[in-house]
Structure 1
Amino acid sequence: DDSLPNIKTTFRKLDQTLEATIRKEDRHHPVRLKDYSPWLTEFSANKLNVELEIPGQYDGQSKPLPQYHVKISGFSPEVTVMSSNKKPIKITILGMDTKEYPFLIKFGEDIRQDQRIEQLFGLMNHIFSVDMICSNRRFEIMTYQVIPLTSALGMIQWKSNTESLDAFLGRSANKTYQQDLSKSRNDYHLWISRPRLNQGDAYGLAAQEYHADKVIPKFRELANRFPKHILRQALWDLSINTENFIALKNNFLKTYATMCVCHWILGIGDRHLCNSKICLNSGKVLGIDFGHAFGTGTQILPIPELVPVRLTPHITALMEPFGERGQFKVYMVHCMRALRDNYRILLATMNVFIQEPSFDWLEHSRLLDEENDTPEATWYPQIKIEQARRKLQGEGSTRIMVEELEANNTLKYKDAYVNLVKNIRTVGRFEEMNNLSVEEQIDCLIDHSTDENLLGRMYAGWTPWM
């Protein structure tokens, strides 16, 4: 048929157009707001004679005064489609005060968990503010506003002038940093993968068969591909003088130590290089995306996370000459002591997870117990809040993680992973992993997080050697 070549040509052009559009979005090129919402594009508070507040101005800390809240004037005509899996959209709201307020619109996810975690962070910041030691040292965990609109749609405050840890490390590296990083992940994947095995089974078999004598040299070889002081150099490049560098470094270590403690209490996982951001003005660290919280990174994922917080070689190199046992540990001890002294108020606030479990929590309870999949099931949140209580009363990180691994009913090589965690060096120092002092608990947490035999078995996308 003569029309067949024309049809093929048409489809080829359509395919090329679609591919070009996808590439354009992946490069974060802006697109028009009217492509998504013509009504928002034409919105004008003056023309419509309406007053709409910019979201996120209610913090629950004091009586609201809406008469002083900033109102929406309009919307920027351009938006940015992000490159992550569900393509969230960054929009900019124009305020009556002539300022711009950027937000990230996420759809297809229940962000109520993120909102509640941010509220818990706010409570932790209040605890730090009334604790004399933490207040004098100005401890805080950086937060942002999360506004759920439905169970599958929400808005997240966009923190301007921040950069992911991944991009920040690339500042001081050579031009091939991203290619080198990708190559290291591919090499690690080839080293751990097995023919005709899926990723979960390949990692599980490695947990069972690969001895530490094989894992640790490979881990160190990957880490040595990148300059040891790459993070220090990135902070130095951001500084205008030595005094500024010392301030940026101190801000980074203080906020990172605070974040590590708070994240571990809430069991927050999935701390890959893009889920931590650095404020370019101050050097402070901001954690984002809490889809895996309360231990689900270990208990749910087919390749379980084996370390409680991210203390990888290039981060701990910034802590020299005293290392992670120096000032960084002191920061963690102060934060943990303040939270443990106020554990009752934290646990009371966490009860909202039991009273109103999010979709993710109900789904996790269904996966972990097929016989108890009713919406009224509250056993899963109760267990998670109980684990948080034990952490706040001196339980060690290894015992909690062993419990989470043993509860992972879909994990084929469960025993191998459990043995790895049970046999790290910290277990010999603390025979009983409960009722630890604050200093012992932080020692356990640091030992656990820096264990090279565990880091060398983490998922390649987590990039544990960086």
Structure 2
Amino acid sequence: MNSLRLPKRLTMHGDDEKDHMFLVKGGEDLRVDQRVEQLFEVMNAVMATSAGCRRARLSNTTYKVVPVTPEIGLIEWVQNTRPLKSVIEQGLGTKLGSLSALDTFGKFLKAKPKQFPAPNFHEMFKTEGRPKVEEMFATCCATVPTDALRKHLLAMAPSPEAFLTCRGGFARSLATLNACSYVLGIGDRHLDNFLLDTMTGTVVGIDFGAAFGIAHTELGVPELIPFRLTNQFQNLLQPLDSVGLLKGHMVSTLQALRAGREVLLATMDVFLNEPVMDWISEGVERRQAKTKRGGGGGSGEDAADEGLTGQPRPPFEARRKIKNAKRKLLGENPAAVLIDDLGQNLSVKQLGSLAKLEAISWGSSGDRVRSKPEHREGWLSVEDQVDCLIDLATDPDVLGRQWVGLATWV
């Protein structure tokens, strides 16, 4: 198949007289993906005990991951799905890598065409204020129609009622995936890492190599967004917007997860008793060795590989990540948890951008929901926590500073 790792798809004919398709993927350690899928299943079980989640039919779509060696494994093929990137590119009639937004971003970053070195980002963190970043990001967004995903669902649905059903399925699944992904610290949410179910409109998350805050602590250009909620997603939800369709489902999901935090944290504790952090460090080093650094022209697939530090992490790092998951499940402000992760990033330390990143994370203008005095201290209610998460995920000053491969203007 046409992908960075050139994976192979095979079909097994089972004794149940059914065909079962699997993706054979090499060059990556799938043990972390396997554990994330297992945690999603535990989260589904926790949500099944919540009346609000049952009523709204909230759950994550999971699939089986079978690691064979540290370099190869099998992934269950999710039927009737397409990557969101191909869906949106079809609606736009062009490849994301050819968008003029890349040139606009490159000029702002003072980088050569299609080259985005990590030091240029850190210089931008330190020197560019909120107004200029928002202006640049608005220019990038203006070059891309925001209705490509919406048009696809409209064409997919045979009637207006069917479209509303598909849109509702998309909103429910996205809200659940976003809330669960935030708790597990899953990053690298470029458009190739979402699958769209062409029958129901639900969204399925894939490729969780950047879980447990790796996108904040290990990447040369750290991610600041807690999950993806960019223009294509928001436009699809109109006229009810993210608050109308997403917030209620996210509140129900986080409420259930916070109520069942003891079960979740006990399950996550397996990452302290098994060498999963060593697996992640080994995977970072392998990806760094195989990936050309400093390049990239908007390709989402290798975005997470750019600027990887590849440095071994101290033993306490796994415990710190579990502690941060507990802070999320207790309701601490997401900006405070993010800043703790950024403080562990070696590139941030070496390039001296932590102070500016702290200001950006809190909201550099001081008028963001997450920066309100009553939200900065103590534990937040579930509703306030979701408000702060959505505020962080949709802040143009944050979106305009993300790695170019995420294409946050789409």
- Band the TM-score falls in, shorter-chain normalisation: 0.7 to 0.9
Which one has more relative contact order, counting CA pairs under 8 Å at least 6 apart? 2
SS at match of 2:189: coil
Alignment gaps of 5+ in structure 1: 1-80
The equivalent residue for 1:183 is 100
In 2 relative to 1, CA 204–296 (structure 1 residues): closer, same or farther, beyond 3 Å?
Answer: same
SS at match of 2:195: strand
In 2 relative to 1, CA 249–211 (structure 1 residues): closer, same or farther, beyond 3 Å?
Answer: same
Q: Distance in 1 between matches of 2:34 and 2:66?
A: 7
TM-superposed deviation, 1:198: 6.5
TM-superposed deviation, 1:317: 1.8
Deviates more, 1:226-235 or 1:271-280: 226-235
Matching of residue 384 in structure 1 with residue 324 in structure 2: no
Q: Distance in 2 between matches of 1:365 and 1:167?
A: 27
Matching of residue 462 in structure 1 with residue 406 in structure 2: yes
Deviates more, 1:401-410 or 1:247-256: 401-410
- The one of 396, 405, 427 equivalent to 2:371 is 427
Q: Distance in 1 between matches of 2:148 and 2:357?
A: 31
- The one of 434, 437, 445 equivalent to 2:389 is 445
Q: Distance in 2 between matches of 1:97 and 1:369?
A: 45
Q: Deviations for 1:272-300, whole angstroms, at most 9, x for unmatched residues?
A: 01101100011010000001011110111
Counting only pairs closer than 5 Å after superposition, residues 299-314 of structure 1 correspond to structure 2 as 299-314=217-232
TM-superposed deviation, 1:321: 2.2
SS at match of 1:410: helix
| 2:44 counterpart letter in structure 1 | N
Contact 2:111 2:120 in 1 (8 A): yes
Q: Distance in 1 between matches of 2:70 and 2:284?
A: 18
Would you say how many aligned residue pairs link Structure 1 and Structure 2?
Answer: 379
Taking structure 2 as the reference length, the TM-score comes to 0.87
Taking structure 1 as the reference length, the TM-score comes to 0.77
- The one of 356, 375, 380 equivalent to 1:416 is 356
Q: Deviations for 1:4-63, whole angstroms, at most 9, x for unmatched residues?
A: xxxxxxxxxxxxxxxxxxxxxxxxxxxxxxxxxxxxxxxxxxxxxxxxxxxxxxxxxxxx
Contact 1:365 1:380 in 2 (8 A): no
Q: Distance in 1 between matches of 2:67 and 2:172?
A: 30
Contact 1:399 1:433 in 2 (8 A): no
Q: Deviations for 1:67-124, whole angstroms, at most 9, x for unmatched residues?
A: xxxxxxxxxxxxxx3422x322222222233422111112232211111100010011
Q: Deviations for 1:410-434, whole angstroms, at most 9, x for unmatched residues?
A: 2213332222113351212544344
Q: Distance in 1 between matches of 2:10 and 2:310?
A: 40
Q: Distance in 2 between matches of 1:266 and 1:186?
A: 34
Q: Distance in 1 between matches of 2:172 and 2:139?
A: 29
Matching of residue 130 in structure 1 with residue 49 in structure 2: yes
The equivalent residue for 1:77 is none
SS at match of 1:302: coil
Matching of residue 404 in structure 1 with residue 323 in structure 2: no
The equivalent residue for 1:101 is 20
Q: Distance in 2 between matches of 1:279 and 1:365?
A: 31
In 2 relative to 1, CA 360–433 (structure 1 residues): closer, same or farther, beyond 3 Å?
Answer: farther
Q: Distance in 2 between matches of 1:180 and 1:365?
A: 25
Counting only pairs closer than 5 Å after superposition, residues 21-420 of structure 1 correspond to structure 2 as 81-84=1-4, 86-173=5-92, 175=93, 177-178=94-95, 181-194=98-111, 199-358=117-276, 359-363=278-282, 378-411=315-348, 412=351, 413-420=353-360
Q: Distance in 2 between matches of 1:186 and 1:445?
A: 30
Contact 1:408 1:414 in 2 (8 A): no
Q: Deviations for 1:392-423, whole angstroms, at most 9, x for unmatched residues?
A: 01111100111111111222133322221133
SS at match of 1:221: helix
| 1:184 counterpart letter in structure 2 | A
In 2 relative to 1, CA 364–115 (structure 1 residues): closer, same or farther, beyond 3 Å?
Answer: closer
Contact 2:106 2:112 in 1 (8 A): no
State the superposition RMSD in angstroms.
Answer: 2.3
Contact 1:309 1:449 in 2 (8 A): yes
Q: Distance in 2 between matches of 1:335 and 1:141?
A: 10
SS at match of 2:82: strand
Q: Distance in 2 between matches of 1:433 and 1:254?
A: 30
Q: Distance in 2 between matches of 1:332 and 1:138?
A: 12
Q: Distance in 1 between matches of 2:361 and 2:157?
A: 40
TM-superposed deviation, 1:380: 1.4
In 2 relative to 1, CA 105–419 (structure 1 residues): closer, same or farther, beyond 3 Å?
Answer: same
TM-superposed deviation, 1:168: 1.5
Alignment gaps of 5+ in structure 2: 286-307
In 2 relative to 1, CA 321–279 (structure 1 residues): closer, same or farther, beyond 3 Å?
Answer: same
Contact 2:218 2:310 in 1 (8 A): no
Contact 2:230 2:394 in 1 (8 A): yes
In 2 relative to 1, CA 380–182 (structure 1 residues): closer, same or farther, beyond 3 Å?
Answer: same
| 2:3 counterpart letter in structure 1 | S
In 2 relative to 1, CA 360–186 (structure 1 residues): closer, same or farther, beyond 3 Å?
Answer: farther
Q: Distance in 2 between matches of 1:346 and 1:180?
A: 39
Q: What percentage of aligned pairs have identical amino acids?
A: 32
SS at match of 2:186: coil
In 2 relative to 1, CA 160–210 (structure 1 residues): closer, same or farther, beyond 3 Å?
Answer: same
